[in-house]
Amino acid sequence: MKRPINQLGTEQFMSDTVSPSTGRFDVAEIAAALPATATTLLVDTYLTNREAASARVFRVYRGTPPHYHAQCDEYLYVLSGRGTFWMKDASTKAEFGPGQLLFFERGTVHALPEILAEPLVFLSIDTPRRDPTDIIFVDPNDGTPATFMARNAAAPRSRA
């Protein structure tokens, strides 16, 4: 069932209270509504999408190859699941799980090589906001914005 769109341009959940300057979201409900499978590496739902910052809930379906974001710093709070993650280089690989916060600055190469427990769901805060196509794979053969995120697969854009 498709939910109505709220004032921020995201799906409206029963517990959302949204105005142009405030919002209240049931993150667990939003996470539970993400699909069980996907053809892309991840599927997300934006909670906010403002120039200063964006907030999303996303589920990861497969390990993600080394990549970086040129436009923003990223804060990833683990809501559920477990996996391995590295930042800067593979020698920093470590396990993570619910309740942990992963942080890296724009331009930092990072990867999530293994999903150890599913569903793997994050609350992400990007500062400033991250355009959904801001994904640069270290090896261009590993993917494109369209193979990375479902919203990009719907409307493919060229890599700039």
Q: Which of 116, 119, 111 is nearest to 142 (CA)?
A: 111
Q: Is the dihedral of CA 38, 40, 1, 118 positive or negative?
A: positive
Cα–Cα dist 136/99, whole Å: 27
What is the pTM for the complete model shown?
A: 0.82
pLDDT at position 109: 98
pLDDT at position 79: 98
Q: Tell me: the pLDDT tens digits for 7-29? A: 444 454 444 444 557 889 999 99
Work out the average pLDDT over 150-158: 65
| 55 confidence band (pLDDT: 50, 70, 90) | very high
The answer, yes or no, to whether the previous bond of 66 is cis (omega within 30 of 0) is no
